[in-house]
């Protein structure tokens, strides 16, 4: 038998199990004392969303919703939530993972009814809110994955792999960021920064140009808007290893928002604190870079422009850098992709642009 | 200096370089002898697509198109094709990879004009057709990736990694299938089959249930319709190691077509022979499995039904199994996802369904 996993992952697991036990215990306690069991959780309605400037993310306000088995309208969501807590407990105990879709179908094995997956997704978010823990903590993962590469040794805590170590620089196409990586402990690294990159092609270019060695960087392919488990890993690298996080995306409002969600999270995870990296820095590609570097570009379309206007009003975007760049989008009506730098040859983005930007980051 | 890579990858590289040299040489030869250079390639028009029942894929017929620098209308695509051959040669010589998007932008570094990416993509397909080689052979990769896991040792041929070995069972989230994996040599495995799986969640379930050990299987997450490099790896596993390939997808026409494209390729790669696995077997989830296993299901929508009718007329779908299942879709108007088996508990799909299907495969 390998020795039981120690440290952060195991501590988190115990916390989740204890929180789940409390939910069950409160139901039993109520029943034994002749009362209707109920559960209270912070409201996630738009009216209860508050932007916290210090945490740099949305948080939930003081409004609370109650699901009581006394109320005929509440019985269904209350029962579903209780079943989900039971199922989550089983997943964590048995050390199995599941997906959002899987939970929807698994319910049927227990004659637990969900009209469709959107209903079960909603209850999963309820449980997150009740526990103030991400669903990844109770082993419910998304289907999408992104990848990581760099000089780092990790040690798995995943069952069957406990204690085994993995060097993240051995596979140049990258290792998928899934349940095993998310729960691994970071053992050793010479990295001095994390570079999060929107696109797989550029990720591979960075690997080929040895950015991980030349700049002592861990490279993360976010594969578009990163799945939550990837944001969670980025946060862990920042918090546990004190590594600065730099983000490179396309120069369009969608790319900017990828950077923003890595930094400040999304409105629908306002009940969580583990998916943001408040100190993460958006280094490009800026709207203004299109001019500075004379990049090949396309015209912003109507949808892009509508999106810029939305972001301008978003409380996450109040800082000068973000406001200026959004205004530049509106003024020039241009967008460009990361690959546009290939206009100056394949290695320009590493040899010149990345160097410029890391220099710039020093004064941010 | 690591010793130069030997074997299949290096042989392919030499073939490509020689074919590219021939394209350049024919242009020089024509010019030196006072003629207009030109290039001929098989036509990819729909009228020239023929389904080859033995190869189990579409192939190109005898019609040929010519791009001649004598013809004013041809000068643009001829020049683009010649530039691309030059650029591809540079990629292969320098051992760098690129993406479709990257090629579009790289052209601008040479003042080579493409109106948009669809024009450069078309020329890339022209070069594939001229060479009868996949663009991965001249180092142009897609952005999307899928993943692999199982008991196998590979040896990289990718520059900077030549000769280094990787165990595909070390990272339980899976290793990305990108340029490095695609060009690696297969050194050692105890695997007796390849299981290609449509969804990441189920891939992880299979890893957790140790399908790779219990069934001696290499597991591939196709991540939906697999990128070409993944189909290429599946074919290599089948051809080089003689491993049977079994495919599991959702029970809907889109899932069936994922299986079909792995087996027989797509109409727009009729000019290639390296992206199909004619002996690959579609094991499910069948339309009839929805009844057999009493799976939770949804109703086929109009788009699904339209798609089934299209597939019924497709020459790749003439075999009885495929026809029967397509008809069952039409009769019952039901579809189901792989995750639907969770209705019987999380491990049922491995303990019962997979066992049933592998038994069935013996008589196929």
Is B259 within the bounds of a domain? yes
Domain hosting B25: range is 8-141
Q: Are A107 and A83 in contact (CB under 8 A)?
A: yes
Boundary-marking domain end, from B141, B162, B182: B141
Cα B154 → chain centroid = 20
DSSP string, A232-265: HHHHHHHHHH---EEEE--BSHHHHHHHHHHHH-
Boundary-marking domain end, from A124, A141, A158: A141
Is B225 within the bounds of a domain? yes
DSSP type of residue A136 = G
Active site residue A105: yes
pLDDT given for residue A136 in this prediction: 86
Q: Are A82 and A23 in contact (CB under 8 A)?
A: yes
Mean pLDDT value across residues A336-360: 92
* Beta bridge pairs of residue A68: A38
Same domain, A111 and A151: no
pLDDT given for residue A4 in this prediction: 40
Same domain, B181 and B326: yes
A320 vs A3: CA distance, rounded Å: 51
∠ at Cα B343 (B337, B347), nearest 5°? Answer: 95
Is B2 within the bounds of a domain? no
Q: Are B176 and B145 in contact (CB under 8 A)?
A: yes
Residue of B nearest to A112 (CA): B343
DSSP type of residue B11 = H
| Mean pLDDT rounded to a whole number for chain B | 91
A41 vs A63: CA distance, rounded Å: 9
Q: Is the pLDDT of residue B4 over 60?
A: no
Same domain, B152 and B131: no
* Beta bridge pairs of residue B41: B65
Mean pLDDT value across residues A155-184: 92
Answer whether A337 touches B (CB < 8 Å): yes
Same domain, A228 and A336: yes
A234 vs A218: CA distance, rounded Å: 10
pLDDT digits (tens, 9 = 90+) for A268-299: 788 888 889 999 999 999 999 999 999 999 99
For chain B, what is the total number of helices (H) and then of strands (E)? 14, 17
Q: Assign B6 a pLDDT band (cuts: 50, 70, 90).
A: low
Same domain, B113 and B262: no
Residue A5: both structure tokens together: 């996993």
Q: How far apart are the first and last CA of chain A?
A: 49
B 96-135 residues with CB < 8 A to A: 96-99, 101-102, 104-106, 108-109
Q: Is the pLDDT of residue B239 over 80?
A: yes
Q: Are A10 and A3 in contact (CB under 8 A)?
A: no
Q: Is the pLDDT of residue A326 over 90?
A: yes
Q: Looking up tokens 């964590």, which residue turns up?
A: A92
DSSP string, B244-270: -EEEE--BSHHHHHHHHHHHH--GGGT
Residue of A nearest to B90 (CA): A346
Q: Of these residues, B28, B78, B105, B156, which one is catalytic?
A: B105
Q: Is the pLDDT of residue A6 over 70?
A: no
Boundary-marking domain end, from B117, B141, B165: B141
Is A174 within the bounds of a domain? yes
> Is the model's pTM score more than 0.80?
yes
Q: Which of A227-231, B10-14, B38-42, B178-182 is predicted least confidently? A: B10-14
Look at A176 and B180 and tell me if their CB atoms are within 8 Å.
Answer: no
Give the CATH number, domain containing residue B76.
1.10.10.10
Same domain, B240 and B277: yes
Q: Which has the closest alpha carbon to A237: A264, A257, A219?
A: A219
Q: Is the pLDDT of residue A80 over 80?
A: yes
Look at B346 and A102 and tell me if their CB atoms are within 8 Å.
Answer: yes
Give the CATH number, domain containing residue B332.
3.40.1360.10
Same domain, A211 and A304: yes
pLDDT given for residue A170 in this prediction: 94
Q: Are A82 and A67 in contact (CB under 8 A)?
A: no
DSSP string, B224-238: SSPPHHHHHHHHHHH
A86 vs A356: CA distance, rounded Å: 52
- Within 10 Å of residue B64's Cβ, how many Cβ atoms? 11
Same domain, B216 and B321: yes
Q: Among the ranges A138-147, B101-110, B125-134, B148-157, which has the highest mean pLDDT value?
A: B148-157
Q: B116: alpha, beta or left, given left = phi > 0 and alpha = psi -120 to 50?
A: beta
Cβ contacts of A50 within 8 Å, gap of 6 or more: A58, A59, A60, A61
Cα A130 → chain centroid = 19
How far B10 CA sits from the closest chain A CA (Å)?
Answer: 18
Residues of chain B positioned with their CB less than 8 A from the CB of A205: 96-97, 102
A75 vs A67: CA distance, rounded Å: 8
Answer whether A46 touches B (CB < 8 Å): no
pLDDT digits (tens, 9 = 90+) for A37-73: 999 999 988 889 888 888 888 889 999 999 999 999 9
Q: Which of A2-6, A35-39, B76-80, B204-208 is predicted least confidently? A: A2-6
Helix (H) or strand (E) holding B49: strand B49-52
Is B3 within the bounds of a domain? no
A53 vs A34: CA distance, rounded Å: 45
Q: Looking up tokens 């339980």, which residue turns up?
A: B172
B 192-251 residues with CB < 8 A to A: 199-201, 204-205, 208, 210, 223
Is A1 within the bounds of a domain? no
B24 vs B207: CA distance, rounded Å: 48
Mean pLDDT value across residues B33-56: 90
Cβ contacts of B27 within 8 Å, gap of 6 or more: B37, B82
Same domain, B135 and B155: no
Q: Of these residues, A28, A32, A78, A105, which one is catalytic?
A: A105
Mean pLDDT value across residues A71-76: 93
The tally of CA atoms less than 13 A away on the side-chain side of residue A38 is: 16
Answer whether B144 touches A (CB < 8 Å): yes
How far B210 CA sits from the closest chain A CA (Å)?
Answer: 9
* Beta bridge pairs of residue B188: B153
Strand-strand pairing, B146-149 and B175-177 = antiparallel
How far A281 CA sits from the closest chain B CA (Å)?
Answer: 24
Complex ipTM value: 0.83
Residue of B nearest to A183 (CA): B173
Higher confidence at residue B249 or residue B95?
B249
pLDDT given for residue B109 in this prediction: 84
Which of A175, A341, A343 lies nearest to residue B173, judging by beta carbons? Answer: A175
Q: Which of A117-121, A161-165, A239-243, B1-5 is predicted least confidently? A: B1-5
Total beta-carbon pairs less than 8 A apart between chain A and chain B: 170
Cα A278 → chain centroid = 12
B234 vs B39: CA distance, rounded Å: 33
Cα A67 → chain centroid = 28
Q: Is the pLDDT of residue B101 over 90?
A: no
Is A240 within the bounds of a domain? yes
DSSP string, B164-226: -EEETTS-TT-EEESHHHHTPEEEEE---EEEEES-HHHHHHHHHTTHHHHS-EEEEE--SSP
Helix (H) or strand (E) holding B75: helix B75-94
Same domain, A184 and A127: no
Look at A208 and B97 and tell me if their CB atoms are within 8 Å.
Answer: yes
B334 vs B287: CA distance, rounded Å: 7
Q: Which has the closest alpha carbon to A81: A48, A126, A143, A140?
A: A126
pLDDT digits (tens, 9 = 90+) for A117-154: 889 999 999 999 999 888 888 988 877 779 999 999 99
Q: Tally the domains of chain A.
A: 2
A60 vs A50: CA distance, rounded Å: 6
Q: Is the pLDDT of residue B5 over 70?
A: no
Per-residue b/e over A140-170, b at no fewer than 16 CB within 10 Å? Answer: bbbbbbbbbbbbbebbbbbeebbebebebbb
Helix ranges restricted to H, chain A: 8-32, 75-94, 100-106, 117-131, 179-182, 200-208, 211-214, 228-241, 253-264, 287-292, 302-312, 320-332, 348, 355-361
Is A88 within the bounds of a domain? yes
Same domain, A183 and A295: yes
Q: Are B56 and B278 in contact (CB under 8 A)?
A: yes
Q: What are phi and psi of B221, to 5 degrees?
A: -90, 110
Same domain, A35 and A151: no
How far B313 CA sits from the closest chain A CA (Å)?
Answer: 32
pLDDT digits (tens, 9 = 90+) for A195-219: 999 988 889 889 989 999 999 999 9
Mean pLDDT value across residues A89-106: 87
A179 vs A171: CA distance, rounded Å: 18
């Amino acid at each position: 038998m390998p020795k039981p996993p120690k440290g952060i992952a195991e501590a988190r697991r115990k916390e989740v199990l204890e929180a789940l036990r409390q939910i069950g215990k409160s139901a039993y306690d109520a029943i034994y004392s002749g009362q209707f069991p109920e559960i209270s959780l912070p409201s996630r309605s738009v009216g209860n969303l508050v932007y916290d400037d210090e945490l740099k993310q949305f948080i939930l306000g003081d409004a609370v919703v109650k699901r009581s088995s006394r109320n005929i309208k509440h019985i269904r969501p209350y029962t579903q939530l209780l079943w989900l807590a039971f199922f989550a407990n089983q997943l964590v105990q048995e050390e199995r993972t599941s997906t959002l879709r899987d939970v929807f179908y698994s319910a049927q094995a227990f004659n637990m009814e969900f009209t469709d997956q959107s209903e079960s997704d909603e209850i999963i978010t309820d449980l997150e809110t009740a526990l103030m823990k991400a669903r990844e903590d109770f082993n419910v993962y998304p289907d999408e994955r992104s990848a990581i590469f760099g000089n780092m040794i990790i040690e798995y805590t995943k069952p069957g792999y406990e204690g085994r170590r993995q060097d993240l620089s051995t596979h140049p196409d990258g290792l998928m960021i899934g349940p095993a990586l998310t729960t691994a402990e970071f053992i050793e690294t010479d990295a001095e920064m994390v570079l999060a990159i929107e696109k797989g092609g550029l990720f591979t270019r960075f690997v080929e140009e040895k950015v991980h060695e030349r700049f002592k960087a861990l490279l993360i392919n976010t594969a578009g808007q990163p799945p939550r488990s990837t944001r969670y890993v980025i946060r862990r690298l920042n918090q546990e290893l004190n590594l600065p996080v730099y983000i490179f995306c396309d120069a369009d409002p969608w790319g900017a928002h990828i950077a923003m969600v890595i930094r400040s999270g999304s409105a629908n995870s306002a009940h969580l604190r583990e998916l943001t990296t408040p100190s993460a820095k958006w280094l490009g590609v800026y709207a203004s870079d299109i001019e500075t570097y004379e990049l090949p570009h396309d015209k912003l379309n109507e949808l892009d422009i509508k999106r810029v206007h939305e972001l301008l009003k978003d409380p996450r975007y109040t800082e000068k850098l973000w406001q200026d760049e959004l205004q530049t989008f509106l003024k020039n009506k241009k967008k460009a992709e990361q690959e546009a730098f290939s206009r100056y040859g394949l290695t320009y983005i590493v040899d010149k642009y990345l160097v410029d930007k890391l220099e710039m980051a020093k004064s941010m």
